[in-house]
Amino acid sequence: MRKVGIYCRVSTEEQAKNKEGSITSQLQRLKLKIEEKNRYDNNKWGKLVGIYKDEAFSGKNTDRPEYQKLLDDVRRNKIDTVIVTELSRLSRSVTDFLSFVQELEDLGADFICLQYDFDTTSPAGKVFMTIIMALAQFERELTAERIKNNFHARALRGLLNGGTPILGFDKHPTQSGSMIINKDEARIVKKMYKVFLETAQVSEVLKYLKNNNINNKAWTSRSGINYGGKPFTHSSLYRLLTNPFYMGKREINKENKELDQSQLKTIEKYHFVDTSWEKIISELDFNKAAKILDSNKAVRHEATHDFILSGLLTCDECGQALFGQSATGKTNKHYYYGHSKKSECQIKRYPAIELEQRIKKHLFSILNNQALKDDFIEILKELSVNTSPEYKGQLKAKKREEKSIQGQINKLIDVISTSDLAGSVDAIVNRLKDSESELEKVQEQIAELEIKSANEEPETIHPEFVLDNLKKLSSEKFRKFKLQKKRMITKSVMKSIHIGPDNLIQINVWTKENGNKDQRNSGGEKGVVLPFYRSGRTLGVANASGGGRSEKKAKKNASPELFMDESSSSISIGGGGGNRTHVQDSF
């Protein structure tokens, strides 16, 4: 007698909560099928030993608890026959479905689907299931594409595709996706903008709203749950003041706003369109408010200071990393890069703003001096040999292999769906099984390599990459970036910065390895470095002595370098042998 397990699934919580809904119907139909089979086989066909229900889980993948429990029970021989009402209840992915059916076959278990009245005991059943699942996935992808294109077309007409209500507007009673002005709320919105334009402070608007007991918009969802109606916060008010809906505009592809628009397809580009509803605030007032908010953001930025060089700076005297620090004086706050532990070094800490400005100045000179830029690129090209990081190279190759195997699987599925010979189908299914097994191994290797490559130090950085991020570092937009992005750009340009008691700041712009001071001085480190002489002055705060590094000592360095000597206001480019091209600095 068969040991039967029945599997049911619904996608949403609403379906799961409905006691007389889909789950109940699926269970009823499956139990009746078992009873029917037993009637024709003297009650010896099979016994129901397991019921597996995944409630509020999508069929796009197999990350479902009851589905996994069903598979475990099949592997432990607790179940030898699985029954579902429709194939989509089990899976919406052809690959996942074929993998499931193949595992059942390997374990000697059967699969029955009421929707098409077939099972896996016949070759015809296998082919039919493959075709049906392929068509189901194809239809799902077509539906998703249609929805995406429809949403985009509606957005271009200035209509909404859902979202929460906004203060000042109500949903249009007849036109889906449009809004009408709520006159009472619109007066509040106008007053909020007026107060902000007069005071230039979000806090003053919050004070006005609090004093007048004005809360954010209250609304009720379709399921009857109440939202909103609470006091404004700084962030919720900021979102309101920056919402272009009020000036009758709608953003298209907002998620692509920071991307290079020239590299995007027309349908993906970020831009504004006119809304289908009237404006509450004039475009002039909206833009005035936006400028004030931007200027306020810049002030807040200066007040806290972003230590973009933290983690890059190293004291050559003791070998410690230097990190951002602050101290409060009588009139204002001071920012430094200093030792994280107690140190006996001559220089204890370095003023952050001055240090950052000097380093940026010398780096930007590469962009402003064409001769220096050309030589810099040539040096990088010489060093940037085709030696990609070990794990990243392996990962790239494995992903190509994965794509190739997936292509083979797709072709085999096509062959199965068009073959009429049972013997041929069995042979192709065996090949499909081998390919899927190989694909699984490759995917496991990819997962392992992704972890390794994430922690792998890059061995080379291409000149274009360095220069592109150097341009970002020098751009006006840089100060508006979030700290995480600022540090990412900075670290992509500079590998490390070494500061010594001899007033020498040495920047490793591109390097294969982090050598210590002795290695760098002896030419042991490969890369491009920018040593900066201080001409008897020091940036350090402590009992630092003056002095600079001698020309003779500099020439001993065997690696290609860019030299900046402040005393002569010039830049020199050299390759370690002492022969250097002298270029007058533009600063």
pLDDT tens for the 587 residues of the chain, in order: 999 999 999 888 877 777 777 888 899 999 999 999 899 888 889 999 999 999 888 887 888 999 999 999 999 999 999 999 988 888 877 778 777 877 887 888 888 888 877 776 567 776 776 776 677 667 767 777 887 788 888 888 888 877 788 899 998 888 888 999 999 999 999 999 999 999 988 889 999 999 999 998 988 877 788 888 889 988 889 889 999 999 999 888 888 888 888 888 888 888 899 998 999 999 999 999 988 888 776 555 444 788 888 878 888 888 888 888 888 776 678 888 888 777 788 888 888 888 888 888 877 777 777 877 777 777 666 655 444 455 666 777 777 777 777 777 766 665 555 544 444 455 666 676 677 677 767 776 776 666 666 555 544 556 777 778 778 887 777 877 777 778 778 877 777 888 877 767 787 765 433 333 443 343 334 445 554 433 333 444 443 333 333 333 333 333 333 333 333 333 333 333 333 323 222 22
Which residues, including other chains, have CB under 8 Å from residue 128's CB and lie 6 or more apart?
116, 118
Correct CATH for 390-454 of 3.90.1310, 1.10.287, 3.30.70, 1.20.58: 1.20.58
The token pair that represents 286 in the structure block: 């909206």
> How far is it, in rounded angstroms, from Cα 336 to Cα 209?
40
CB 152 within 8 A of CB 271: no
- b/e map of 38-68 (b: 16 or more CB within 10 Å)? beeeeeebbebebebbbbebebeebebebbe
Looking at the chain, the domain(s) classified CATH 3.90.1750.20 span 178-303
Q: Domain 178-303: what homologous superfamily?
A: Putative Large Serine Recombinase; Chain B, Domain 2 (3.90.1750.20)
CB 367 within 8 A of CB 373: yes
CA 246, 250, 256, 262 torsion-angle sign: negative
The pLDDT assigned to 481 comes to 79
Looking at the chain, the domain(s) classified CATH 3.40.50.1390 span 2-148
The pLDDT assigned to 160 comes to 84
Closest to 129 measured CA to CA, from 154, 102, 166: 102
Fold of 2-148: Rossmann fold (3.40.50)
Helix/strand/coil (H, E, C) string of 38-58?
A: HHCCCCCCEEEEEEEEEECCC
- Please count the helices (runs of H) and the strands (runs of E) in the chain: 18, 22
The pLDDT assigned to 280 comes to 93
The pLDDT assigned to 6 comes to 96
Question: Residue type at 96?
Answer: D
Which residues partner with 47 through β-bridges?
A: 3
Looking at the chain, the domain(s) classified CATH 1.20.58 span 390-454
CB 98 within 8 A of CB 432: yes
Which residues, including other chains, have CB under 8 Å from residue 293's CB and lie 6 or more apart?
202, 238, 241, 242
CB atoms within 10 A of CB 560: 21
